[in-house]
Amino acid sequence: MVNKPTRPTDPLIGNDSWNIQLDSNGRLKHFLTIEGLGSEILTNILDTAESFANVNQQRVKKVPLLRGKTIVNLFFEASTRTRTTFELAAKRLSADILNINISTSATSKGESLLDTLQNLQAMLCDMFIVRHCDSGAAHFIAGNVAPHISVINAGDGRHAHPTQAMLDMFTIRRNKGRDFGRLRVAIVGDLLHSRVARSQIHALNILNTGDVRVIAPKTLIPTDIEDMGVTVFNDLEAGIKDADVIIMLRLQKERMQGAFLPSEHEYYSQYGLTEESLRAARDDVIVMHPGPINRGVEIESRVADGEHSVILDQVTYGISVRMAIMSMVLGREPEHNETEAN
Ligand code: NCD
């Protein structure tokens, strides 16, 4: 049996239910947060995604691993990339997938979340993929579903977005190799509200990244972020100096109450990644962004579309990484011959 790591209560979701994602054998039952996972699980996800990347290059982009399984995309918040790549991933694994449109579902008639879940359970589903504006929502759902159902967190409030972090690690590994120890990674932007950044920092730490930096105005940096082992910079060029990887973040205006910034224009002049500021990084730096990007707010178009950008590769890799995570939580990891060319 694999020992489960222990850690104190999660400050954002206020309980220690983070560890409900592992079964008694230390295998993934749900995928809710990167926190508390070991490097073997993360590396296993990345290696499994690598075999699915081959499937995604084949003429018939499909394997029968999840045939007969029913998966529900339950998105209570807007999404383009995440929802559609989960749907494609499910289809390429031969599962049946339903997309529940919350704005037209009975939730808008006052049905509680638990009643909605019980009705979906009664339809004999195997997995819920959940995005919700409340931190802790995916943990709550995982703690309240029938034992045979797995839950994947597709983003909860400003808490976690673990599948995004894993596709980002996959993108870094594909471009920079397996040794994260020699990498300098700079994360720039709205760290305070970003669930993506929190999950990325946990993943980078677990994979032993040499130097992780965060760069933002003081108002957009959580006060306790140094406890996560990162170095804080308030100056863009100092922070991205000699970086191998730069990850840009969107300003999460929907999560801001009150004035965090003087103006978008001023933010761009200090923290926008332009061709000029990018010169401070290494010549072979890669520029990443989880999307949606706001051109002229956090990133210049010439950088977003330029030679260092891997932003659209992240989207493509998201399919393979989500295929890996979905097959692992349902206990159907591919044998070698299951991902061979058709
Ligand atoms: C992110 C999200 O929803 O957290 N986007 C994504 O999933 N690709 C980042 C964002 O909204 O800025």
Mean pLDDT calculated for residue range 243-260: 88
Residues 145, 99 within the same domain: yes
Distance 305 CA to ligand 1 centre (A): 19
Ligand 1 atom nearest the C-alpha of 155 is 4
**182 and 296 housed in the same domain:** yes
Residue 10 lies in a domain: no
User: For position 11, what pLDDT does the model report?
Assistant: 67
Residues 288 and 324 in one domain: no
- Percent above pLDDT 90 for the chain: 78
User: Is 85 known to be catalytic?
Assistant: no
> Is 251 found in the same domain as 152?
no
Among candidate residues 6, 59, 109, 336, the one labeled active-site is: 109
Q: Is 296 left (phi over 0), alpha (psi -120 to 50) or beta?
A: left
Q: Are residues 202 and 155 in the same domain?
A: no
Is a pLDDT exceeding 80 seen at residue 216?
A: yes
Lookup: tokens for 152? 């994947």
Tokens, residue 216: 């933002």
* 18 band by pLDDT with thresholds 50, 70 and 90: low
The Cβ of residue 125 has, within 10 Å, a number of other Cβ atoms equal to 22
What digits encode the pLDDT tens for the residues 217-235?
999 999 999 999 999 999 9
For residues 64 and 339, give the distance between their C-alpha atoms in angstroms, rounded to a whole number: 9
pLDDT digits (tens, 9 = 90+) for 267-315: 999 999 999 999 999 999 999 999 999 999 999 999 999 999 999 999 9
pLDDT at 73 over 70: yes
pLDDT of residue 2: 41
Pair (167, 142) in one structural domain: no
- Is 131 one of the annotated active-site residues of the chain? yes
How many percent of the chain have pLDDT more than 70? 92
Q: Are residues 202 and 113 in the same domain?
A: no
- The whole domain housing 335 covers 17-160+318-339
Strand partners, 68: none
Ligand 1 centre from 290 Cα, in Å? 6
Are 156 and 167 found together in one domain? no
Q: Which of 161, 163, 289, 321 to mutate to test the pocket of ligand 1 (most atoms within 8 A of CB)?
A: 161
Distance between Cα 249 and ligand 1 center (Å):
9
The verdict on residue 21 lying in a domain is yes
Query: Does ligand 1 come within 6 angstroms of the Cβ of 82?
Result: yes
**pLDDT given for residue 261 in this prediction:** 76
CB atoms within 10 A of CB 237: 14
Does 291 sit in the ligand 1 pocket, CB within 6 Å? yes
Residue 161 known to be catalytic: yes
CATH number for the domain that contains residue 306:
3.40.50.1370
Cβ–ligand 1 distance for 161 under 6 Å, the answer yes
Q: 267 and 145, same structural domain?
A: no
Omega prior to 11 cis, within 30 of 0? no
Mean pLDDT, residues 27-43 taken together: 95
> Which of 131, 132, 159, 202 is the catalytic position?
131
Mean pLDDT calculated for residue range 15-42: 87
**Same domain? 135 vs 212:** no
Phi-psi category of residue 144: left, alpha or beta, with phi > 0 → left and psi -120 to 50 → alpha: alpha
My answer on whether 47 and 116 are in the same domain is yes
1 CA distance to ligand 1 centroid (A)?
A: 35
Q: In this structure, is residue 147 part of a structural domain?
A: yes
> Is 125 inside a domain boundary?
yes
Q: How far is the CA of 162 from the centre of ligand 1 (A)?
A: 11
Q: What total number of domains does the chain contain?
A: 2
- Work out the average pLDDT over 313-318: 98
In one-letter notation, the amino acid at residue 262 is: P
Shared-domain flag, residues 80 and 179: no
- Residue 34 covered by a domain: yes
DSSP output for 24-74:
TTS-BS-B--STT--HHHHHHHHHHHHHHHHHTTSSS----TTTT-EEEEE
Query: From CA 82, how far away is CA 147, in angstroms rounded?
Result: 25
Q: Residue ranges of the alpha helices (H) in the chain?
A: 39-55, 81-92, 113-122, 137-142, 162-176, 195-206, 236-239, 264-271, 275-278, 301-304, 311-329
- Pick the catalytic residue from 33, 82, 163, 209: 82
Residue 8 forms part of a structural domain: no
Q: How confident is the model at residue 1 (pLDDT cuts 50, 70, 90)?
A: very low
Task: Say how many Å lie between the CA of residue 149 and the centre of ligand 1.
Answer: 25
Which single residue is written with the structure tokens 């306790």?
224
- Is 155's C-beta closer than 6 angstroms to any atom of ligand 1? yes
> In the prediction, which pLDDT does 256 show?
81
Identify the pLDDT of residue 113.
Answer: 86
Tell which atom from ligand 1 comes closest to the C-alpha of 291: 8
pLDDT at 330 over 70: yes
Eight-class DSSP state of 244? S
Assess whether 62 carries a catalytic annotation.
no
108: number of CA atoms within 13 Å, CB side? 7
pLDDT in tens, 173-202: 999 999 999 999 999 999 999 999 999 999
